[in-house]
């Protein structure tokens, strides 16, 4: 009953190597593999092993709750992308537990608020942090005025000088789409909005770090997400004295989708006469259709989806059409057979799905594999094959 992903190891790793080498050449520093969440469908342990193979000195995870597991599989530093905040009591307890582990010194916290930085500044021991700027994402981070004020705070400066807080640089999490002030269509060579945003923040950060007095000055380093190669090249050429570290996940692990093949196993095949009611909801299917039971259900991420961005007219039309079909009780499954995407007979079950094949379609046998087009960041596979 396996819902599995098969990996063409050579093709998959060749792609990783190309991305790694390209970013190393463009940025002048190794990229930081992101292995957060479900490990992009492949698992955090597997991606930690691949990060070691690449030679990564630092990886990024999503939250503090992912630190301990990832720390077991390498000696790299671990950046936690979700900001530390003492007002989050559950996460604060997890941070305390991480602090008791042998790998505590390898963990770098993201700090995005004055309250969080002051809590660390008045604490005991020594913690490593990156300060997060509030970019055009407007999710977390200090705005320019807040960052300048907190860096001027006497308590913060003392904590830096005494080594209670070691600042590893400034983090910039950028949007995927061009920010709203993008007006130059000629490309990154002349500075896209994201390039300009990074350079602006870098100028502020560089000015602060260059005049820092005392011990343990903040590192003149940027940790950036969602710059393409041309944008990265433009940033690096504009900032020769700043180290730029690119945090990359989707492009690194899922950038060559042809190397990854998800499929469910056919578990049962039922040719049925017209009008037969099936499933939990006892719906009928196509005339003289065949009901196929295939491994892969909601526990694997089948049927789960994020809201559509609907950024253009075509996407809105597709979304409206899908909504109308859902309202009528019809939905396309991610499973494909004989070259076509097939309809669910009803919403997927926890571990299996029921799909219809119309009359005249080649009938699969039990044990056959039925390909599935899935979103890897919401998928959980029973097996990952091909990397032995």
Q: What is the pLDDT of residues 162-211, one digit of tens each?
A: 999 999 999 999 999 888 764 454 444 457 999 999 999 999 999 999 88
Does pLDDT of 281 surpass 50?
A: yes
Residues 178 and 301 in one domain: no
Residues 203 and 338 in one domain: no
**pLDDT confidence of residue 123:** 81
Residues 246 and 268 in one domain: no
Burial class (CB in 10 A: 0-12, 13-18, 19+), 378: middle
Residue with tokens 């992912």: 66
Q: What is the pLDDT of residues 229-262, one digit of tens each?
A: 999 999 999 999 999 999 999 999 999 999 999 9
Residues 182 and 288 in one domain: no
Residue with tokens 């499973």: 335
Residues 281 and 363 in one domain: yes
Q: For residue 22, tell me if it sits in a domain.
A: no
Q: For residue 3, tell me if it sits in a domain.
A: no
Higher pLDDT, 156 or 1: 156
pTM for the model stands at 0.90
Residues 189 and 304 in one domain: no
| DSSP designation for 74 | -
Query: How many CB atoms are located within 10 Å of the residue 161 CB?
Result: 15
Residues 269 and 205 in one domain: no
Q: For residue 23, tell me if it sits in a domain.
A: no
**pLDDT confidence of residue 322:** 40
Q: For residue 157, tell me if it sits in a domain.
A: yes
Give the domain extent around 129. 31-254
Does pLDDT of 147 surpass 80?
A: yes
CATH code for position 318:
2.40.37.10
Residues 245 and 127 in one domain: yes
Residues 133 and 280 in one domain: no
Find out whether 201 and 145 touch, Cβ atoms under 8 Å.
no
Domains in the chain, number? 2
- Residue 142's nearest CA partner among 95, 61, 201 is 201
């Amino acid at each position: 009953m396996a819902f599995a992903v098969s990996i063409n190891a050579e093709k998959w790793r060749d792609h990783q190597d190309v991305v790694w080498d390209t970013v190393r050449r463009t940025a002048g520093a190794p990229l930081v593999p992101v292995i957060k969440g479900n490990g992009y469908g492949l698992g955090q342990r597997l991606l930690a092993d691949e990060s070691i193979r690449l030679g990564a000195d630092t990886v990024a995870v999503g939250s503090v709750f992912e630190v301990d597991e990832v720390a077991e599989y390498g000696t790299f530093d671990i950046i936690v992308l979700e900001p530390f905040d003492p007002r989050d009591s559950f996460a604060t307890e997890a941070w305390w537990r991480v602090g008791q582990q042998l790998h505590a010194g390898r963990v770098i916290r993201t700090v995005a608020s004055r309250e969080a930085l002051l809590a660390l500044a008045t604490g005991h021991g020594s913690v490593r942090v990156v300060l997060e700027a509030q970019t055009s994402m407007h999710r977390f981070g200090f705005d320019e005025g807040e960052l300048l004020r907190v860096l001027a705070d006497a308590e913060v400066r003392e904590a830096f000088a005494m080594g209670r807080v070691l600042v590893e640089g400034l983090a910039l999490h950028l949007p995927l789409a061009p920010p709203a002030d993008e007006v130059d269509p000629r490309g990154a060579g002349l500075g896209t909005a994201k390039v300009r945003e990074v350079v602006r923040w870098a100028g502020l950060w560089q000015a602060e770090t260059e005049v820092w007095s005392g011990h343990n000055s903040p590192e003149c380093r940027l940790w950036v997400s969602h710059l393409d190669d041309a944008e990265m090249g433009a940033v690096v050429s504009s900032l020769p004295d700043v180290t730029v570290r690119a945090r990359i996940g989707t492009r690194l692990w899922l950038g060559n989708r042809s190397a990854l093949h998800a499929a469910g196993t056919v578990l049962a095949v039922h040719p049925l006469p017209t009008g037969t009611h099936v499933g939990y909801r006892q719906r009928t299917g196509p005339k003289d259709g065949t009901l196929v039971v295939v491994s892969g259900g909601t526990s694997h991420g089948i049927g789960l989806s994020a809201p559509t961005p609907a950024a253009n007219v075509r996407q809105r039309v597709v979304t409206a059409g899908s909504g109308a079909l859902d309202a009528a009780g019809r939905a396309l499954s991610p499973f494909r057979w004989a070259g076509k995407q097939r309809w669910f007979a009803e919403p997927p079950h926890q571990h299996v799905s029921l799909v219809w094949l119309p009359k005249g379609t080649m009938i699969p046998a039990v044990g056959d594999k039925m390909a599935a087009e899935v979103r890897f960041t919401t998928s959980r596979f029973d097996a990952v094959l091909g990397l032995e």
